[in-house]
Structure formats: structure tokens, C-alpha cells
């Protein structure tokens, strides 16, 4: 394959965050291919996507079958794992994926395992680690009165819950299987705006080459508590966060992308909440702000160039998640019928601000240069709103 025309390959275009990432890559001039299940109209109509194959998600098939489907797809290029389980899949099937024409950077299994167990990271770098331990449900019930409250329970992807007391936690655990495993983490007090992330790209020699830091402004009000989906964020250069993340990841001999999610305590200390072995869901904000993460990854993988460390962000861009589908529901907690339409009106205001070319404003999977695809996702979002409002009206009756 001619490496000058090698596409960037992104999986799961049915997910609006992955599609927003694809649009960011397309705006940066990269050729694009990928997968979608089911085949959504925006994946077929996007001006940025050259080829899209219909392929089931990794969560729906065994890993070996998923690997074989990629081989049968015939796609070759720069592979970008966008979620945690895809990074693990890529590390496991590294040799196979390379043999079918994929090139990529991904952390080793050992690095990812250490990153999952943040208790081991306390001596690496300047960032502090929010205390965490892991227990089976049956053991948690026995020792529940010894826990420090408030705390965060982490059970599955996105399933983060805050508990203020032993009584509330006991009621929750009693409803689960005794063999369920929970990660319990100290809750760091503070508003949403004290939460920020560093997105860092490392080359094959575990050297940081590109970075970006941004601050959360608003998260979804969901049953998962204070770690709901990010609805609004801003690019903000936080040197101590970036440098601490680089120290931490260098100690883990990292390769490829990582997102280090942190929260700042009242005394100014930054605490690591999670280390994710992938691009962030809002890397499109970094791209809009000039960070150049995707271009650097493409150059490292497709052309085997050596890049020097550079943080190129302007710290001007804002991100508001206007459109969401698939795994990511629309950006509101639809608890009141009237509030849905108020928020729809707010989305229209955001849209017209965007159309008037308000500088440095990013609306997730919305791109006026990719109008047909963007309208397809917008229609899907509005349809979800309609279904939710209809359900609420029936409930009210």
C-alpha cells in the first residue's frame, strides 16, 4: 500500500463521539475508513469517509471473530483504538493486526494493567492518587462500616456512583451478585470545574510528543453521579497537569494515546481518578484548539517519523456536545417534559451561533462542511428526544 494514501481507520462510526473524531481527522486532511454497525446514513454520506464496512462491535462478538472480520474487510491503514476494550484488543492481537496491514501505537498489556490499579502509581510523578481498593461484594458487605465516606464505586464502564453513607452503599451492594467486583475510590470534593484531563501521545520509544489539557464545565446529570458524560468543556493549558501526566505515563513505559483524568482538591493538589489507554471522547476539542494530536499519530504510524515534544494548543476553544447518539444519549437528563424543549431551544441558539462562525466553538458531531451527515445525526437525536418526551407524557397520564 502507498503509505502517502494510507487511511486512518476508526471503528464504530455509529457512535457520535467516534464520528466527531472522524470529522476532526477529515478536517485535518487525513483519508478515512472504518466500520459501523448498523450502517448509519451519516457514515455513508460523510464527505470525509472514503470507505465504511458494516461490522459488528467488539462487545457483540468474541475477540477472535472480530479480528477475522477486520481481515475480511480488506481495510489497511493507521488503526486508531478509541475505547478501552479496543486498546486491550489491539494489544492482544498486535501481531495479527500488523500482519493484515494495520499500523498503530498502543500501550502494552503490562502498562494498561498497572494503569488500572492506580494504587501502584502513588510513587510515580508529582500527581497524587485518589486512594482506591478493590473488593468482592461479599467482602465489601462485611467491611462496609470501615469505609471512608463519601466514596465513589466503580463497577462497569461509566457506572460510577457516589455514596454518602454506609446505609446507602449497603442497600446498593445487597442488590448485586456476591461475586461482583467493585473498585472503591475516595471522593475528592469540589465542583465539576475542578475536573480536568490531560491527553498525551507517546511514540514507540515512550517519549511524549504531543499533549493537551482541558477543563470540564458541565457533565450529564445521570444516575452515575459526578462522572457523567462531558457535555461542555474548554481548552485550558494546565502545565502541572500535563507534566504530572507525562511523568506518570513515562514511568509506565507508555506508547500511543492516554487520557489522564484528574480532579483538583481545595488545596490545589491534582488527584488522578483514571488513566484511560486511548484518545479521549473529546479529543475533537483538542483538535479544534490546534493540538494536532491526530496528525502527529498519523505521522508516527504511517511514516515512522521522529517528532519532538510540542504542545500546540491555543487554549481558546470551547466544546458543547450538541448531538449524541448510540451509546451516548442526548445531553440532558430527560426528567421533565418541559425541560426537553427548553434544552432543544438552547441547542438551536448554539447552532445559529455556530452558523454565524463564532470563533473557537465546537459542537461535537456537527460540521457544516459535512452537512448531510450532520443533519442525519441531528435527526436521530431529535427522534430520541421525541421518544423520551412521549414516554414521559404517558407516565404523567
Distances (CA, A) of 371 to 267, 288, 320, 344: 46, 18, 18, 19
Q: Is residue 331 part of a domain?
A: no
Q: Is residue 112 part of a domain?
A: no
Contacts of 259 (CB under 8 A, 6+ apart): 197, 198, 199, 274, 275, 276, 278, 279, 280
Q: Is residue 126 part of a domain?
A: no
Q: Is residue 282 part of a domain?
A: yes
**178 in the same domain as 197:** no
Q: What is the pLDDT of residues 130-163, one digit of tens each?
A: 888 888 999 999 999 999 999 988 765 556 788 9
Q: Is residue 121 part of a domain?
A: no
**350 in the same domain as 276:** no
Identify the CATH number of the domain in which residue 178 sits: 3.30.1490.20
pLDDT at 326: 52
**135 in the same domain as 71:** no
**258 in the same domain as 220:** yes
Over the Cα atoms of the chain, what is R_g? 21
**53 in the same domain as 157:** no
**209 in the same domain as 141:** no
Q: Indicate the residue among 159, 186, 213 that finishes a domain.
A: 186
Q: Is residue 14 part of a domain?
A: yes
Grid cell at residue 53: 464496512
253-257, 370-374, 385-389: least confident range: 385-389
**155 in the same domain as 101:** no
Identify the CATH number of the domain in which residue 312 sits: 3.30.470.20
Q: What is the pLDDT of residues 285-325, one digit of tens each?
A: 999 999 999 999 999 999 989 999 999 999 999 988 766 65
Greater confidence (331 vs 279) lies with 279
Quote the percentage of the chain above a pLDDT of 90: 60
**246 in the same domain as 180:** no
In this prediction, residue 241 has a pLDDT band, given cuts at 50, 70 and 90, of very high
In this prediction, residue 395 has a pLDDT band, given cuts at 50, 70 and 90, of very low
Q: What is the pLDDT of residues 59-88, one digit of tens each?
A: 899 999 999 999 999 999 999 999 999 999
**385 in the same domain as 297:** no
Provide φ and ψ at 194, rounded to 5°. -85, 0
pLDDT at 390: 63
Domain encompassing residue 355: 337-396
Domain tally, the chain: 4
**58 in the same domain as 30:** yes
Identify the CATH number of the domain in which residue 32 sits: 3.40.50.20
Q: Is residue 115 part of a domain?
A: no
**98 in the same domain as 46:** yes
| CA atoms lying within 13 Å on the CB side of residue 262 | 29
Q: Is residue 114 part of a domain?
A: no
Grid cell at residue 370: 459535512
Greater confidence (66 vs 115) lies with 66
**345 in the same domain as 263:** no
Amino acid at each position: 500500500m502507498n503509505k502517502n494514501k494510507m487511511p486512518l481507520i476508526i471503528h464504530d462510526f455509529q457512535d457520535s463521539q467516534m464520528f466527531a473524531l472522524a470529522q476532526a481527522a477529515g478536517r485535518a486532511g487525513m483519508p478515512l475508513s472504518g466500520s459501523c454497525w448498523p450502517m448509519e446514513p451519516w457514515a455513508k454520506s460523510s464527505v470525509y469517509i472514503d470507505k465504511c464496512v458494516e461490522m459488528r462491535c467488539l462487545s457483540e462478538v468474541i475477540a477472535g471473530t472480530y479480528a477475522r472480520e477486520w481481515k475480511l474487510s480488506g481495510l489497511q491503514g493507521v488503526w486508531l483504538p478509541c475505547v478501552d476494550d479496543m486498546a486491550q484488543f489491539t494489544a492482544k492481537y498486535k501481531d495479527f493486526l500488523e500482519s493484515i496491514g494495520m499500523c498503530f501505537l498502543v500501550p502494552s498489556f503490562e502498562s494498561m494493567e498497572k494503569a488500572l490499579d492506580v494504587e501502584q502509581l502513588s510513587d510515580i510523578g508529582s500527581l497524587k492518587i485518589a486512594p482506591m481498593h478493590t473488593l468482592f461484594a461479599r467482602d465489601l458487605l462485611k467491611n462496609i462500616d470501615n469505609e471512608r465516606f463519601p466514596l465513589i464505586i466503580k463497577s462497569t464502564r461509566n457506572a460510577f456512583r457516589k455514596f454518602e453513607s454506609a446505609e446507602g452503599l449497603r442497600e446498593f451492594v445487597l442488590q448485586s451478585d456476591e461475586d461482583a467486583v467493585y473498585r472503591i475510590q475516595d471522593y475528592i470534593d469540589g465542583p465539576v470545574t475542578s475536573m480536568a484531563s490531560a491527553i498525551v501521545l507517546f511514540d514507540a520509544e515512550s517519549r511524549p510528543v504531543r499533549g493537551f489539557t482541558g477543563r470540564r464545565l458541565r457533565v450529564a446529570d445521570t444516575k452515575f453521579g459526578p462522572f457523567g458524560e462531558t457535555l461542555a468543556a474548554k481548552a485550558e493549558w494546565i502545565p502541572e497537569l500535563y507534566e504530572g501526566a507525562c511523568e506518570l505515563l513515562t514511568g509506565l513505559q507508555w506508547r500511543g494515546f492516554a487520557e489522564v483524568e484528574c480532579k483538583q482538591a481545595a488545596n490545589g493538589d491534582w488527584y488522578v481518578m483514571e488513566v484511560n489507554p486511548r484518545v479521549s471522547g473529546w479529543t475533537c476539542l483538542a483538535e479544534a484548539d490546534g493540538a494536532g494530536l491526530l496528525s502527529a499519530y498519523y505521522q508516527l504510524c504511517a511514516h515512522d517519523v521522529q517528532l519532538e515534544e510540542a504542545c500546540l494548543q491555543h487554549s481558546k476553544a470551547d466544546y458543547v456536545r450538541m448531538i449524541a447518539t448510540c451509546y451516548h444519549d442526548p445531553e440532558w437528563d430527560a426528567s421533565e417534559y418541559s425541560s426537553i424543549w427548553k434544552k432543544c431551544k438552547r441547542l438551536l441558539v448554539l447552532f445559529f451561533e455556530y452558523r454565524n462562525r463564532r470563533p473557537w466553538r465546537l459542537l461535537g458531531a456537527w460540521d457544516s462542511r459535512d452537512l448531510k451527515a450532520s443533519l442525519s445525526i441531528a435527526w436521530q437525536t431529535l427522534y430520541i428526544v421525541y421518544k423520551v418526551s412521549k414516554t414521559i407524557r404517558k407516565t404523567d397520564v
